Amino acid sequence: MPLDGANTYGEVHMKFTKLMTGAALALGLATAAVAEDKTKVGFVFVGPVGDGGWTYEHNKGRLAVEESFGDKVETVFVESVAEGPDSERVMTEMALNGADLIFTTSFGYMDPTINVAAKFPNVKFEHATGYKQADNVSVYSARFYEGRAIQGHIAGKMTKSNIIGYIASFPIPEVIRGINSAYIHAKKVNPDVEFKIIWAYTWFDPAKEADAAKVLIEQGADVVLQHTDSTAPQAAAQDAGNVITFGQASDMGQYGPLPRVSSIIDDWAPYYIARTQAVMDGTWTSTSTWDGIGAGMVGIGEISDAVPADVKAEALALKASLADGSYHAFTGPLNKADGSAWLAAGETANDGDLAGMGFYVEGITAEIPK
Amino acid sequence: MDLSAINPIILIAALISAATPILLAATGELVAERAGVLNLGVEGMMITGAVSGFIISVNTGSPAIGFAMAAVGGATLSLLFAFLTQVALANQVASGLALTLFGLGISSLMGQNYVGIKPPRMPDVDFGPLSDIPVLGQILFSHDPIVYVGLFIVAGVWTTLKFTRAGLILRAVGENHDAAHALGYKVKRIRTLAIMFGGACAGMGGAYISLIRVPQWTEGMTAGVGWIALALVVFASWKPWRVLLGAYLFGGITQLQLNLQGAGIAIPVEYLAMSPYIVTIVVLVILSADKSRAPGSLGRIFHASQ
């Protein structure tokens, strides 16, 4: 079956005509004329494009697609789409309006993406951070945990109270991986370190994120790591003084050199451009991509001068070893929190274990919410 | 588990501050609803207040002027709702929803150049020796002025509604606008004023988030507080002190659950996360077992010819 944009649209359009009345048909034909020579790429965002974090970086990827292909591509996006049924409606609408490729950029869009993809077999879907694939659904994510390892190292070295606060969003594997990776590397350089974890149950709620940061700081944390999308915890830490933070998903450089001492930067642009190109060429196939520092999908923001030079050098060495693959962030010996053995000495975690991670490593005393 | 990490004094002080945005927005909405107007645009007015207060504060360097202009911003946006519902006689539910969408959009447009900027800090009120009183001093006398303004507004709304002629007229308009009209009261004018008051309060509530609680500007940063305020008015049976109680309960339990999580208490996190909503609803529903009910003309369109 030909896969270029116009024909893909044609397939959708066939279904469309069966479903719709004459008026809608006329409208559909009008869009068909436009879609003829353009590949239409849709993006579904969980937060506003101005969140300064997660969605901001995905939108940068979208803009890079536009810049790279110019007139040959048309992008559409919908921001602040709630995870769940609402997202299904948004995706359906995008597909009906002739999108050839749709990126759904939050974990909670996983089942909606699979459902909508089943109804539109000729539209390509790309779901971020999930694990359910289909013939027309690829999954992609970045190995953020490699960045978390570097954060954990710096945090463990720099904490004076030995209490590290962690604002978590939802208890999904990606977030749990981040906590484990940060903990392992903090513990490695500072055996006395303790993690306090607060689950915010939101990706984006600046007031709540700020409150969580304040509570952690009041309870003695002098490092606050966040896995939520806004810059609110940075502002709260700045206000409190003597607390360090790390940019999440985006550089958040406006909060440097203190409290923000470094950051994890998601760089989706190369992937988005490559996938759009594949749709144009008709070479798109369902794939599972999971790239890290080495491939450039995870960037480490500049380590500020607030970090002592020796710690900075160690962090950069760690980054280099993660990038060239000589070191894996989950290297044994490691036990699970319940005391059972996980990785033997020198053994590294396989991707299957990492993708479905639902346990803390030994030393974290908290429980993971079910 | 380490409960000693939680300082109850800081916890109570934090809940008072955390509850202030909801309190302000809900009190404003209460006045509008007592006048018979259901304005679902609270979220939109809050975020507009949040961005206008932020922009003005950053440019003037004065948070106080920022808050004043946040109130003006919220009230200005609410005028749009007043025009739609009082002059054009549009449906209140639809107009309110439209107002929220419009507010979210215009605020992100206005705030584009203000992401990542730090606003000037509003100093706490100086109570002199009062704030040195152990325990009470830190709980009651260590806040920024807006916390006290919020309490003052609740007290003022209660007094006005209960004891003054103006309050009686406002309630009459809300209970039965035809009768109030027959008595010669200007139903539309009174409702427009009530809507503007609601807008001003919501605007200040929004600015409290962007100027004090977070403090920064981020698109969509009110993240649903306006809807909680709306629900609170209903559960509080349209009574100002119950709104205060509800806001403090909600803010307090939100703070408490974050603290308990941080302290690693053995209650499952999902129960902790839902607790603010459940406790607030249960308490206010029990309280509303008396014969309180919605204003008689709530949500109905008034036209003198009908």
What CATH number does residue A53 fall under? 3.40.50.2300
- For residue B187, being part of any structural domain is answered with yes
Looking at residue A25, what is its pLDDT? 40
Residue at B260 is within a domain: yes
Same domain, A85 and A54: yes
Q: Could you tell me if residue A366 is inside a domain?
A: no
Residue A211, in any domain of the structure: yes
Q: What is the pLDDT at residue B288?
A: 78
Tell me the H-state helices in B209-263.
Answer: 225-235, 240-263
Integer Cα distance of A54 and B232 in angstroms: 32
Residue B180, domain member (yes or no): yes
A72 domain residue, yes or no: yes
Q: Return the closest-CA partner of residue A264 out of A233, A299, A293.
A: A299
A contacts of B263 (beta carbons < 8 Å): 196, 219
Residue-number span of the structural domain to which A103 is assigned: 5-142
Residue B304 lies in a domain: no
Quick one: what percent of chain B has pLDDT higher than 70? 98
Of A61-65, A111-115, B23-27, B296-300, give the lowest mean pLDDT range: B296-300
Task: Pick the closest to residue A195 from A308, A364, A28 (CA basis).
Answer: A364
**A322 in the same domain as A212:** yes
- A225 and A86 assigned to the same domain: no
pLDDT at A184: 96
Q: Which residues of chain A does B222 touch, with a Cβ-Cβ cutoff of 8 Å?
A: 207
Please indicate whether residue A351 or residue B206 has the higher confidence score (pLDDT): B206
| Pair A67, A212 in one domain | no
Examine the domain organization and report whether A9 and A117 are in the same domain. Answer: yes
Asked if B213 is an interface residue toward chain A (Cβ–Cβ < 8 A), one would say: yes
Q: Has residue B292 got a pLDDT over 50?
A: yes
For chain B, what is the domain count?
A: 1
Give the residue among B26, B36, B43 at the shortest CA–CA distance from B98.
B43
Q: Of the candidates B5, B223, B263, which has its C-beta nearest A204's C-beta?
A: B223
Q: Count CA atoms closer than 13 A to B298's CA, side-chain side.
A: 17
Give the contacts of B79 (CB within 8 A, at least 6 positions apart): B192, B195, B196, B199
Predicted confidence at residue B276, as pLDDT, reads: 87
Measured in residues, chain A has a length of: 370
What local confidence, expressed as pLDDT, does residue B89 receive?
Answer: 93
Collapsing DSSP to helix, strand or coil, B12 comes out as helix
* Domain count within chain A: 2
Categorize the per-residue pLDDT at B11 as very low, low, confident or very high, splitting at 50, 70 and 90: confident
Give the CATH number for residue B74: 1.10.3470
Q: What is the pLDDT along chain A (370 residues), one digit of tens a residue?
A: 344 444 444 444 444 434 444 444 444 444 444 445 789 999 999 988 888 889 999 999 999 999 999 999 999 999 989 998 899 999 999 999 999 999 999 999 999 999 999 999 999 999 999 889 999 999 999 999 999 999 999 999 999 999 999 999 999 999 999 999 999 999 999 999 999 999 998 888 899 999 999 999 999 999 999 999 888 999 899 888 899 999 998 888 888 888 999 999 999 999 999 999 999 999 999 999 999 999 999 999 999 999 999 999 999 999 999 999 999 999 989 999 998 999 999 999 998 889 889 999 999 988 888 7
Tell me which DSSP letter residue B237 carries.
T
What residues contact residue B87 under an 8 Å CB cut-off, 6+ apart? B188
**Mean pLDDT over the full length of chain B:** 90
Task: Indicate the helix (H) or strand (E) that contains A302.
Answer: none
Residue-level pLDDT at A9: 41
Query: Between B63-82 and B92-110, two packed helices, what is the crossing angle to 10 degrees?
Result: 140
Q: Cβ separation of A235 and B259 shorter than 8 Å? A: no
Q: Are both A319 and A170 inside the same structural domain? A: yes
User: pLDDT confidence of B306, banded at 50, 70, 90?
Assistant: low
Q: At which of A142, A164, A190 does a domain end?
A: A142
- Same domain? A117 vs A53: yes
8 A C-beta contact, residue B207 and residue B64: no
* Interface mutation vs chain B, best among A203, A215, A368, most B CBs within 10 Å: A215
Query: Which pLDDT score is estimated for A36?
Result: 55
Tokens of A261: 């001492």
Does A287 fall in a domain?
A: no
Give dist(CA A220, CA A217) in Å, integer: 5
* Per-residue pLDDT reduced to its tens digit, B123-175: 888 888 888 888 888 888 888 999 999 999 999 999 999 999 999 999 999 99
Residue A10 lies in a domain: yes
d(CA A118, CA A167): 35
| Torsion sign (Cα): A211, A217, A220, A221 | positive
Cβ-Cβ pairs closer than 8 A, A with B, add up to 110
B126 in any annotated domain? no
Instruction: Give the C-alpha separation, B189 to A162, whole Å.
Output: 61
Residue A363 domain-assigned? no
Interface of A with B in 157-176 (CB under 8 A): 165, 171
CA distance A143 to A146: 6
**Position B254 in a domain:** yes
**Which tokens sit at B21?**
């945005």
- Å between B219 CA and nearest CA of chain A: 6
Is residue B144 one of the residues assigned to a domain?
A: yes
In-domain check, residue A298: no
A 313-352 residues inside an 8 A Cβ radius of B:
none
A303-325 exposure pattern, b = at least 16 Cβ within 10 A, e = fewer:
bbebbeeebbebbeebbeebbee
pLDDT the model gives residue A368: 86
Confidence class of residue B267 from pLDDT cuts 50, 70 and 90? confident
At position B295, the amino acid (one-letter code) is P
**Residue that has been written with the tokens 């988030």 in this structure:** B209
Which residues contact residue B77 at a Cβ distance below 8 angstroms, ignoring those fewer than 6 apart?
Answer: B41, B44, B45, B48, B99, B102, B103, B106, B199, B203
Query: According to the model, what pLDDT value does residue B2 have?
Result: 61
- Within a 13 Å sphere around the CA of B148, how many CA atoms are in the beta-carbon half? 11
Six-digit token string for B24:
């302000």
For A165, phi then psi, to 5°, come to -90, 145
Measured over the CA atoms of residue A270, residue A271, residue A272 and residue A274, the dihedral's sign is positive
Alpha-carbon gap: B257 to the closest alpha carbon of chain A (Å): 9
- 3-class DSSP assignment, residue B268: coil
Residue B152 structural domain: 3-114+140-287
A29 and A166 inside one domain? no
Total H helices, total E strands in chain B: 12, 0
Q: What is the C-alpha to C-alpha distance for residues B180 and B176, in angstroms, rounded to an integer?
A: 6
pLDDT of B262: 83
Which among A142, A165, A192 is the end of a domain? A142
Assign B184 a pLDDT band (cuts: 50, 70, 90): very high
In a domain, A42, yes or no: yes
Dist. CA A349–CA B12, nearest whole Å: 45
Look up residue A19 and give its amino acid. L
Residue A344: C-alpha distances to residues A173, A334, A336, A341 (Å) = 21, 7, 12, 7
pLDDT in tens, A255-305: 888 899 999 999 999 999 999 999 999 999 999 999 999 999 999 999 999
Q: Does A191 lie in the same domain as A116?
A: no
Domain co-membership, A217 together with A318: yes
Across the interface, whether the CB atoms of A367 and B14 are under 8 A apart is answered no
ipTM of the complex, rounded to two decimals: 0.82
A202, A231, A370 member nearest B218 (Cβ): A231
* Rounded-to-integer distance, Cα A365 and Cα A195, Å: 8
Which residues, in sequence order, are bridge partners of residue B176?
A: none
Output the six-digit token pair for A135: 């013939």
- Please judge whether B218 and A211 are an interchain contact, meaning their C-beta atoms are less than 8 angstroms apart: no
- Residues A155, A138, single domain; the answer is no
A138/A173 same-domain check: no
Last residue of a domain, one of A85, A115, A142: A142
Rg of chain A over all Cα atoms, to the nearest angstrom:
22
